[in-house]
Amino acid sequence: MIPHNLPTIGQEEEDAVLRVLRSKQLSQGDEVELFENEFCDYLGLSRGSAVALSNGTSSLFMALKILNAKGKKILFPGYVCSALRHAVSMAGGIENTVDVEPNSPNLNMGIIKQNLPDISIIPHMYGIPIQIDADDTLVIEDCCQALGAKVKNQMVGLFGDVAIFSFYATKLMTSGGQGGMFVSKNQEYVDAVRDYREFDLRNDSEKRFNFKMTDLQAAIGRVQLKKLPYFLKRREEIFQYYKKSGLDLLDIDDELRGILEPVRYRAIVKTKYPRKLVNSLESVGVQSIIPTEDWELLGQREFLPNALKFSHETISIPIYPSLTKEHLDIILSGLVIK
Ligand SMILES: Cc1ncc(COP(=O)(O)O)c(C=O)c1O
């Protein structure tokens, strides 16, 4: 079976793990700090602006917490990973789920002006970046699916008040299965997250939580970050191969080329027959998925017509660096309805 997702792990990751294991410094230490700084370098942020955490959800919770989300109206799309609702609930925010743009997994900025939330969580879904234009709300940029994507030549993550990233096993790079990063240009926010993470041996009565990343995870993350440009290039090549073969894939609008630079986190095939295609792919040994099932939508469906339609008209096919041309041709052979 060709799996839908597969992390790309090599000798360098194995060597990094062994190095850290042998050092016996396993929990948060120098590797985490190095990873944070190298991540800032990658984004074009000054060093000290990133905090490594246990995963993307805890990074989002931290973002909400330091923006004082409790009792506030928090806008987020209904078409997204359930982690958003969990983090909003944990932070005591009031959910304001909204619909996405027609034929897109992304928000339209106009919806923020209509809803006037205190805080907006804006995900760049499936690697397709959004131009953020939202002055009247605090913005958490959710870059979990879009590390390396750019808007006007600047990396996503630099546009919100704060931004979060995930290094879960299926993401564009991983720090060993789980991991997350919080970033901000605002040093007070960064310091507040760092303070919250240092939960132990504190001589005050503040409540904190253990959301730390380990040195073992950070060492893998550092190697993967070095390989990220290659990963993104391979994904782009595969995406273009699919396109040349005639697939109708989700992409940025033509008029935004030159402004938006997507990364190919997902190859989303648009189809009126998603289940038939998933079955057809399975019959040639390929795993594909409905990327967000209708029952996964957050909020009341009657208010999410675009999300519902998008969910019913898309499948996600494998797109990861280790796929060979032979794999791609098998995948393409399964994309016909028999
Ligand atoms: C858009 C988005 N936000 C947040 C998360 C949460 O990240 P994590 O799984 O690392 O907790 C994910 C993915 O899992 C995601 O896709």
Q: pTM for this structure?
A: 0.98
Looking at residue 336, its pLDDT comes to 85
Q: Residues with Cβ < 8 Å from 201, sequence gap 6 or more?
A: none
Q: What mean pLDDT do residues 16-41 have?
A: 98
Closest CA to 287 of 320, 310, 265: 320
Q: Ligand 1 pocket: which residues have CB below 6 Å?
A: 55-57, 60, 80-81, 83, 123, 142, 144-145, 166, 168, 180
Residues 63-121 pLDDT 10s: 999 999 999 999 999 999 999 999 999 999 999 999 999 999 999 999 999 999 999 99
Closest CA to 287 of 240, 331, 231: 331
User: Which numbered atom of ligand 1 lies nearest the CA of 168?
Assistant: 10
Return the best residue to mutate from 59, 156, 166 for the ligand 1 pocket (most ligand atoms within 8 A of CB): 166
Count how many residues are written for the chain: 338
Cα separation, 121 vs 138, in Å, equals: 9
Looking at residue 338, its pLDDT comes to 64
Looking at residue 17, its pLDDT comes to 98
DSSP annotation of 126 reads G
Question: What's the gap in Å between 132 CA and the centre of ligand 1?
Answer: 20
Question: What's the gap in Å between 326 CA and the centre of ligand 1?
Answer: 31
Return the best residue to mutate from 57, 80, 85 for the ligand 1 pocket (most ligand atoms within 8 A of CB): 57
Looking at residue 225, its pLDDT comes to 98
Residues 225-278 pLDDT 10s: 999 999 999 999 999 999 999 999 999 999 999 999 999 999 999 999 999 999
Return the residue whose CA atom lies nearest to atom 1 of ligand 1. Answer: 144
Looking at residue 277, its pLDDT comes to 97
- Find out whether 100 and 305 touch, Cβ atoms under 8 Å: no
Q: How many alpha carbons lie under 13 Å from residue 242 in its C-beta half-sphere? A: 31
Looking at residue 38, its pLDDT comes to 98
Question: What's the gap in Å between 292 CA and the centre of ligand 1?
Answer: 13
User: Which numbered atom of ligand 1 lies nearest the CA of 166?
Assistant: 10
Q: What mean pLDDT do residues 306-310 have?
A: 98
Cβ atoms within 10 Å, residue 28: 18
Judged against a pLDDT cut of 80, whether residue 337 lies above it is answered with: no
User: Which numbered atom of ligand 1 lies nearest the CA of 123?
Assistant: 1
H or E element in which residue 115 lies: helix 110-115
Return the residue whose CA atom lies nearest to atom 10 of ligand 1. Answer: 56
The residue to which tokens 């070095």 are assigned: 226
Return the best residue to mutate from 120, 143, 144, 298 for the ligand 1 pocket (most ligand atoms within 8 A of CB): 144
Return the residue whose CA atom lies nearest to atom 8 of ligand 1. Answer: 56
Cα separation, 290 vs 127, in Å, equals: 17
User: Which numbered atom of ligand 1 lies nearest the CA of 57?
Assistant: 11
Judged against a pLDDT cut of 70, whether residue 285 lies above it is answered with: yes
Mean of all residue pLDDT scores within the chain: 97
Residues 138-181 pLDDT 10s: 999 999 999 999 999 999 999 999 999 999 999 999 999 999 99
